[in-house]
Amino acid sequence: EVQLVESGGGLVQPGGSLRLSCAASGFTFSGYYMDWVRQAPGKGLEWVGRSRNKANSYTTEYAASVNGRFTISRDDSKNSVYLQMNSLKTEDTAVYYCTRDHLYSDVYWPDYWGQGTLVTVSS
Amino acid sequence: DIQLTQSPSFLSASVGDRVTITCRASQGISTYLAWYQQKSGKAPKLLIYAASTLQSGVPSRFSGSGSGTEFTLTISSLQPEDFASYYCQEIKSYPLTFGGGTKVEIK
């Protein structure tokens, strides 16, 4: 059974940093792309970024709103993907989800989602 | 960046109704579109990918169609467990934009 479990959320002051983790199980983690998606309270979904797999050199993509402040990394030996968030702003307050992305027709589609972890940026 | 416009943003319907949600892209995205269902307080769930391919385990009353710039998600006969929010997402180019969402509520 595919499972994704996010952790590391909490309350942080503006300008602060936080590192989220997503622990995966039930599939061969190293072969998959992984995304981070967030949802501000009462709002819609916002794609944050993507980590490609080893075959694609672990390269990453980011939304403009977080580029330069957030960094996605992964450790295939621990079946985990991470989201390092620096210079946090109040508008980064959201539930953060990680997703597993499966390959179909040359494109990676987010097919499993974790339960999310809440990040609150406030003084 | 590609913008996705969902309509309606809110929909009130009865059990058994046929429901259609539209997602329009600001530029052509072929069939690089997914649909998700999100129930209150829960993570989103993939319903359809590649515009019309039903994810494993998703009931057949859900269907997707379209290509290019206009896409639809149809629920053929609305069930009590279908009352939720629905989102489209394009997977053609970065950033992978979501539509604004459609909330389906009980009439």
Measured between beta carbons, which residues in chain B are less than 8 angstroms from residue A37? 44
- pLDDT tens digits, one per residue of A8-65: 999 999 999 999 999 999 999 999 999 999 999 999 999 999 999 999 999 999 999 9
Distance from the B42 Cα atom to the nearest Cα atom in chain A, whole angstroms: 7
E strands, B26-84, where? 33-38, 45-49, 53-54, 62-67, 70-75
- pLDDT tens digits, one per residue of A51-70: 999 999 999 999 999 999 99
- Taking CA A34 as the corner, what is the angle to CA A32 and CA A36, rounded to the nearest 5 degrees? 170
Look at A111 and B55 and tell me if their CB atoms are within 8 Å: yes
DSSP, collapsed to helix, strand or coil, labels residue A30 as: helix
Q: Count contacts between A and B (CB, < 8 Å).
A: 59
Are β-strands A117-121 and A10-12 bridged in parallel, bridged antiparallel, or unpaired?
parallel
Measured between beta carbons, which residues in chain B are less than 8 angstroms from residue A110? 34, 46, 89
Round to whole Å and give the CA distance between A62 and A48.
6
Round to whole Å and give the CA distance between B80 and A28.
36
Check pLDDT > 90 for residue B106: no
Q: Are B87 and B5 in contact (CB under 8 A)?
A: no
Query: Residues 57-76, chain A: which have Cβ within 8 Å of B?
Result: 61-64
Task: Kindly identify which residue of chain A lies nearest to residue B53, measuring between CA atoms.
Answer: A104
- pLDDT tens digits, one per residue of B44-58: 999 999 999 999 999
- Total residues found in chain A within this entry: 123
DSSP, collapsed to helix, strand or coil, labels residue A92 as: helix
Look at B34 and A45 and tell me if their CB atoms are within 8 Å: no
